[in-house]
Structures are given as structure tokens and as C-alpha cells.
Amino acid sequence: MLFSSGIFIFLFLPASLIGYQLLSRFGRPALLTWLSLASLFFYGYWNPSYLILLIASILMNFLFARKLGEGRSEQSQSRWLVIAITANLGLLVYYKYLFPLLNFFHEHGVIHRSFVDVMLPLGISFFTFTQIAYLIDLRQQIAKRQGLLPYSVFVTFFPHLIAGPIIHPRELMPQLDEGRIRGLRVDDLALGLSWFIMGLTKKVLIADRVAPLSDVLFAHPHAAGISTAWLGSLAYAMQLYFDFSGYSDMALGLARMFSLEFPFNFNSPYKAQGIIEFWQRWHMTLSRYLNEYLYTPILRWVNGRRMDAGKKVTRKASATLEGFITMVAFPVLTTMFIAGIWHGAGIQFLVFGVLHGIYLTVNHAWRIFTPQGHRFHKKIPAPFMVVLNFLCVLVSLVFFRSANVHDAAYLLGTMSGIHGIGAAFGSFPFLDGIPATSKFLVHTSTTVVALAVCFFIVWALPNTQEILGQSRADETRMPSLLPRLTWKPTAVWSFGLATLFCVVILLLDASTRFLYFQF
Amino acid sequence: MMLYLLPLMMGPLLMLLVGCFVLPSRWVALHSQNTYLVNLGWGATLRNANCQIVVYGDSTAMVGINPAVIKERTGLSTCNIAEFEGMTILNGTMVLDRYLEQNPRPQFIVFLYAPEDFDPPSQRDMVSTFEAINWRMGQPHKLFGLYEILHRPRYFFEWIEQGWRTVIERLGSKTATPKVVDFRADHWGQFPIEAPTQTVCEDVARPASVPSKEWVSGLRKYNRDGMTVLVDSTPMPPCDPKLVYFKERLSGLIDNQVQTIPIDSFTTDGRLHVNAAGAVLLSNMVADQVLQRMSGNSTTGAH
């Protein structure tokens, strides 16, 4: 069931909210049971057979959790943690990588048989990662062991089940405690619904409307001229941002309707002035996950080896070439290599990851070798940094979206003019594949205007949590043309958002799946 | 805060509610200028029509049965009240039932369907679902219709969404011309289409379907009150990949065999939609069957 579907908006969501409120008088167990059942129904509505997989995964990890945490010996805990992580990753590998990998070998003549890919269970990466984090936190005694009911809500709670945000046990579990979890609160309902509508608008009115252009371009990259290649690639950059950040806004809004708070997942990433900052603002919970569970352990391992060898692990040591390679470049590249593989079983995803690893390494080098206040910093204006950063991301997104590396390389060649100017945008032969609900994409002028509007929103307007006044207190607002645009529960906002909601609903049937569902 | 929430929650709900009344209205159909939408459920609008042969079925019948040809061959006045596939799948024989309530009983009812439509549930995601819901919601007992449609809620929401978009797009447009409004009446119900001639067989992967005996038995229940029922399958081109399958599956279940007619009798617009030449072949096929039954009846009568 998609958040952007009539069934979800008009049937599932009201029913789950009403049920939650009605059961609130029966206390915490009733509320947790309701949330758990509603979430399982939400998941099973897509494909009931994979519900068994989800439940089995929850039960398996719940049993593993009993072997970890307080009262267990260190050695036993380490052993069980390795077994648990292996089992979780084994499940992920089976569904996500095994058959594409075997077919890759088949295509290259290594094996003779080809295989039919198994259908990827929705959200398998997300619920696997969430549970691994729980087990590691238990092992490190950061998290407390939970009963089956709160644990199943932690894993399955429908706003984050399919595509995140990736939640830490320490973020959600305390909110499910006795006394904290209770019925609906009207102020949270108002805020959550407003947040949801804003996210839905990003998805349906923007992402889904520009998506057809990137779809036709990436389906036929060899037929595109330079203008089509640029406009299609920019359309994809906008589609991906508005699709995924819209989804995340909806998830945060839905959770807030139940008075539960999720961590932010996007914070104006295209306003970033460097790639490090970009990853601090893009898919933030994944970045955090990678940082805590991949980058940091790798860095600790590297530092341990250096210390064993009598080498320093200080900031000053990382400013030497040898220190930089081992303490910065190696952990960053390894982490992003794995992040690339996580996104999919294709070489293009691996290139995407490695490319970002290189970007990050260069950015770290810039920071280390030209520290704050360096004369270079004063000479480069911020807008230039923002545009440069965006272009770097755009190059990586061409790999991310292309069917293979060859198509991506060809398209980048077209964008850089290697293949000449090529046919004009209006002559791209596949524009007739654009549906009626995005017909403005068949003319150059209207396409440029549409993309300009997208750029205006991402570069000149505050983001959703800034508008809703939900940014962290210690965080300064990013520069925008409307810094005072702040949501208030007033009649103007109410009628404005209600109108937007109705307009969006008119286009729900022309909406597509969320891009991150495939991961 | 409750006042803030009220428009957010009630706005979309009102849109659904008002849509149930506005979208099936004649005003929307006329302003859509869509020939099919304007003529939707034409058979159910007829009163005191003298149709001795009534043809009902899916779009292959609607497009392909030329009542003038049948009348010329049999001497019996003929009306084609068939509808698009979605109408027959979602609303079954409601149009025919309404016709029978409002008009004298015909001598023959001819049911003609594409082979796949002998298993209606398997074809649910095919064409004209929007029109089917629009017609259903325009019928009396709206709440009951809504209850039926909400068994498959996705269709209902898509209908509302698409319908309101049509209303907004067509808000300032003129009403349909009399030529559009009377299109089916002018052709005795046939809905001839102009489209390029088919030259190669389709390679569309259609949903698997197993003809339903129970469903065909349901059609044969009209074999009463002096009415004779014929249940036929639309002919296929000889190259159709499903021809052998349906010949076997429909054998003994229907009154004609799954016959073949040349591929150039079909158009590229829709499944088994015939052109004018194909319509003559198809109508003659039905006329032959009717004549056969008539001679059979008269022989029986003589004995």
C-alpha cells in the first residue's frame, strides 16, 4: 500500500487512527498490539506471502536479542552477534544479490544456467538494518532488551517500514514506554497531517510530474542530444529528491499523528556546499547508520593497527599523506563502496558508491589540507560551491539511474558534448511516451520552466521541517528567500493545505511507486 | 486546533462525496464530448423499442455487430446494446436487465464476447473501468452500487480522481453535438470504429483466463419467456496465439465454435475489434445462427 494512494489516505490511515484512539483507554499493550497489527496489515496488503518473511525475521531477531545484553558473557554475546548479523545479511543477500549475481556470471559465461530473479520483499533492507542496529546496540549495552510487542512495533511501525527513516532503538523505544504512549493528541495530529500533506505534494505534484522525462531519457540514452541529456538528468535529480524527501516527510508526519517522533532524513541537501555536508543532509539516517556501523568500526580497526605498529592516530597524523590514506581515504572509500553495493546488484551502483567515496575523500583532503580560514575559502563564493557540489552529485546520479555503466558513460559523454550537440530536445523521438499528466515536458520552454521551479524550491525556499518549525534548536536555518515562511495552525494554512491536498488527490492515480522501495 | 483540522479532513472527503453525484451526471458526459461516455449504457435508456434480436456482450460485439446486416438476413429488427469490456465485467448484465424491464421481450438474445471475457474476473484490469463505475454510480440505489464498487477500492478512487480531472479540464467546453449524442441510436447501437487494419497478430501478454462454465450458465438463464439465447465467442484471426487454447476450452460451452476470419478484418484499435468488412462477416455469422434456430423452431412446430 502506497502512502500516495486513495486506499491509504481514505481507508487505512483513518481506520488506524480511529482504532488507536478507541484503544487508548485500554492502555499500552492495546495500543502496541493495534500498531503492530495495523502495520502488518499495511505490509501484507502488498504481498501477503512476504508477511511470513517479515514475521519470521522479527521472531528470529527477537530470539537473538535474548542472547545479547545484560547478564550474558562477553564471549557468548560476541559469538551470538556474529551469528545474528550473518543470518540477517544472509537473508538480504539471498533476496537482493544472489540471483542477480548468478545471472551476471551467466551473462559473462562463468556459469551456464540462468536464474529467474526472486521478487524483492518490500523494505527488506530497511527492516534488516533496523534490526541489526538493535542487536549491535544491545551488545554495546546502549539499548535495552524489549518485549516482543514493543519490539515488533519498533520494526514494523508502518510509517518507516518500507523505506525508512532508519530508526535507532534509542529513538523510538523510549517513546513506546508506559506513560509516554497514549491516544491521539490534536496538536500532533494537526502538525502530522500538515507534514504529511507537504510530503505528498512533493511526491505527487513534483516528483511524479517530472519523472516521465527521466524515464524516457534513461530508457533510450543513445537517442538523446545534449539538451535532452541535460534536461532529463536534471529531471531525475529533482525526481529523486522530491520523491524520497517527500516520502520521508510523509513518514515523519504519519508518525507524528500518533505522537511519535522520527529523526529527520533530509535537510536541504542540494543547498550543501560540499559533499561531506551533502551526506549530512541527504538520507541522513542512512548516513548516520553507515557512519556508526561501518565507517567507525573500520576506522577503529585502522587506528588499532596503527597504534599496534607504533604510529600516531592524531589529527596531525592524518594530515600526512600516509596518515590520510590509511585513516581517511581507506575507511571512507570502503564505506561508500559498501553503500554503493547496498543500493543494488549492478556495477552502476558500485560506481555510484565509489564515486561518492572519491568525492568525500577529496572533500576531506580539502578540509584537512586547507583548514578553516584558509585564503582559498575566501576566494570561492558559496553559490559556486553549491553548484559544483550539485554537478558532482548529478554525475553520480546518472550512474545511479542508468541501466548499466555503459549507458551512464554514454549519457555523460553526451552531456559533456563528446557526441556533439545531437538532436534538439523537441526532436527526441520518445517524448510521445510522456503521459497526459506531464505533457508540459514535451516542449523545451515549459520543461525549462518546470525545472527552474524545482531549483527555486530546493535552493531558494526553506525545507519542510524549517517551515513547520521542527528544526533542531541548535540548528541555524539555511539561507532562503522566504525565511519567515512558518507554518501556524491558522485558517489560511488550513484552507491552503486543504486545497493542496485536494489537488494532489486528483493526481493520485497518476502517481508511481516510491523510488526507494526498490532498495 | 480542531477548527484547523476540519478543512484538512473534510475537504478530501467532500470531494469524494460530491464526486459520487457530479461525475455520473449527464452534464459531465455531455461536456466530456466523449462519444462513448455520452452513449454509455445506451441499451438501458431504450423504452418500448421493438428489437426482436438483442445483441449484448463486450466491445467486440459493440463494434462488430451491424444490426442492419442481421435484419436484412433474418427479417428481424435487431439492436446492439453491447458495452465495453469493463462495463460487462463490473456491471455484468445490468444494461440488458434494464432493457428487458423497459421493452418488449426479444425473440433472441445473442451474447457475444471475446474469448478472454468468458472468465470476467481474470480481465479486471482491462479497459473502461472508469466508464463502468461512472455508469453504475449514475443508477438508482447509489449506496448499494458504492458498496459493490468498494469491494475493489482502488477502482473507486481512480474513478474519482480521473473524473474530477475530466470535470476541471472540460469546465469551459461546449456540450457534445447531436451527432455525438445520437451516435449509437443512429447505428442501431453499433459503435463502428475507424482504425488502421491489423496486419500482424498481437503479442500482448494478456492475463491467463479459463472460461467459466458457471458464468456461461448464468447467461443461459435468459432462455425463458419465449426468448432464445445464443452464447457466442468473437472470431479470431488464424494467427492468434490463443486460438488453439480457446478452441479447446470453449468447445461445447458456447453455441458457435471459435471461428477464424482473416486478419485484415480486424483493426489495430482494441482486442478483436473488427472493421466494416469484418463487421459484415461477424454479423452474417450471427444471422446464420439465428436463421438456423428459426428453421429448427419452425420444423419443431410443424411436428
Chain B residue numbers with beta carbons less than 8 Å from the beta carbon of A501 are: 8, 11-12
Distance in angstroms (rounded) separating the CA atoms of residues B90 and A225: 46
- Chain-chain contact of A494 with B7 (C-beta, under 8 angstroms): yes
Domain final residue pick, A184, A216, A231: A184
- Tell me what pLDDT residue A515 has: 61
Closest to A269 in 3D by CA, of A261, A260, A277: A277
CA dist A193 → A133, A235, A255, B14 (Å): 29, 28, 10, 17
Q: Which residue of B has its CA nearest to A10?
A: B13
Model confidence at A344, in pLDDT bands (50, 70, 90)?
confident
Q: What is the residue range of B115's domain?
A: 17-302
Q: Are A63 and A106 within one domain? A: yes
Distance in angstroms (rounded) separating the CA atoms of residues A24 and A258: 11
Q: What phi-psi label fits residue A207: left (phi over 0), alpha (psi between -120 and 50 degrees) or beta?
A: alpha
- Chain-chain contact of A190 with B160 (C-beta, under 8 angstroms): no
Residue A44 lies in a domain: yes
Q: What confidence tens digit (pLDDT) does each residue in A19-69 have?
A: 999 999 999 999 999 999 999 999 999 888 889 999 999 999 999 999 887
Closest to A2 in 3D by CA, of A58, A42, A29: A42
Q: What is the residue range of A64's domain?
A: 6-184
Q: Kindly tell me if the per-residue pLDDT of B303 is higher than 50.
A: no
Q: What confidence tens digit (pLDDT) does each residue in A84-94 have?
A: 999 999 988 88
Model confidence at A205, in pLDDT bands (50, 70, 90)?
very high
Contact at 8 Å (CB) between B264 and B256?
no
Q: Are A176 and A294 within one domain? A: no
Could you tell me if B168 lies within 8 Å of chain A, comparing CB atoms? Answer: yes
Chain A residue numbers with beta carbons less than 8 Å from the beta carbon of B10 are: 498
pTM across the whole model: 0.86
Q: Are A423 and A405 within one domain? A: yes
Which of B157, B160, B166, B170 best tests the A interface by mutation, with the highest count of A CBs <10 A?
B157
What is the tally of structural domains in chain A?
A: 2
Closest to A286 in 3D by CA, of A368, A199, A353, A204: A353
Q: Kindly tell me if the per-residue pLDDT of B200 is higher than 90.
A: no
DSSP label at residue A204: I
Rounded to a whole number of angstroms, the distance from the CA of A99 to the nearest CA of chain B is: 25
Residue B7 lies in a domain: no
What is chain B's Cα-based Rg? Answer: 21
Q: Kindly tell me if the per-residue pLDDT of B301 is higher than 60.
A: no
- Chain-chain contact of A6 with B161 (C-beta, under 8 angstroms): yes
Residue B219 lies in a domain: yes
Domain final residue pick, A132, A150, A184: A184
Q: Are A138 and A196 within one domain? A: no
How big is the A-B interface in CB pairs under 8 Å?
A: 76
Residue B11 lies in a domain: no
Residue A1 lies in a domain: no
Residue B6 lies in a domain: no
- Helix A405-415 / helix A208-219 crossing angle, nearest 10 deg: 100
Q: Which residue of A has its CA nearest to B10?
A: A498
Contact at 8 Å (CB) between B59 and B89?
no
What is the tally of structural domains in chain B?
A: 1
Spacing of C-alpha B263 from chain mean position: 22
CA dist A519 → A72, A397, A482 (Å): 35, 15, 35
Q: Are A171 and A240 within one domain? A: no
Q: Are A373 and A506 within one domain? A: yes
Q: Are A121 and A200 within one domain? A: no
Q: Are A306 and A391 within one domain? A: yes
Q: Are A46 and A137 within one domain? A: yes
Distance in angstroms (rounded) separating the CA atoms of residues A48 and B160: 27
Closest to B104 in 3D by CA, of B42, B62, B61, B49: B49
Could you tell me if B8 lies within 8 Å of chain A, comparing CB atoms? Answer: yes
ipTM > 0.85 (yes/no): no
Distance in angstroms (rounded) separating the CA atoms of residues A175 and A28: 11
Q: Out of A160, A168, A283, A343, pick the active-site residue.
A: A343
Q: Are A199 and A158 within one domain? A: no
Where is pLDDT greater, at A340 or A108? A340
Q: Kindly tell me if the per-residue pLDDT of B299 is higher than 50.
A: no
Could you tell me if B171 lies within 8 Å of chain A, comparing CB atoms? Answer: no
Q: What confidence tens digit (pLDDT) does each residue in A132-148 have?
A: 989 998 888 888 888 99
CA dist A370 → A74, A274, A373 (Å): 44, 14, 8
- Helix A28-44 / helix A13-23 crossing angle, nearest 10 deg: 160
Residue A228 lies in a domain: yes
Rounded to a whole number of angstroms, the distance from the CA of B14 to the nearest CA of chain A is: 10
Q: What confidence tens digit (pLDDT) does each residue in A253-299 have?
A: 999 999 999 999 999 999 999 999 999 999 999 999 999 989 999 99
Q: Are A105 and A202 within one domain? A: no
Nearest CB neighbour to B153, from listed A7, A493, A507: A7
Strand partners, B53: B78, B108
Beta strands B228-233 and B53-57, pairing class: unpaired
Which residue has cell 542540494? Answer: A270
- Tell me what pLDDT residue A325 has: 93
Q: What confidence tens digit (pLDDT) does each residue in A88-131 have?
A: 999 888 888 888 778 878 877 888 887 776 777 888 888 998 99
Nearest CB neighbour to A498, from listed B7, B161, B164: B7
Domain final residue pick, A165, A184, A203: A184
Q: Are A89 and A159 within one domain? A: yes
- Tell me what pLDDT residue A214 has: 94
Active site residue A443: no
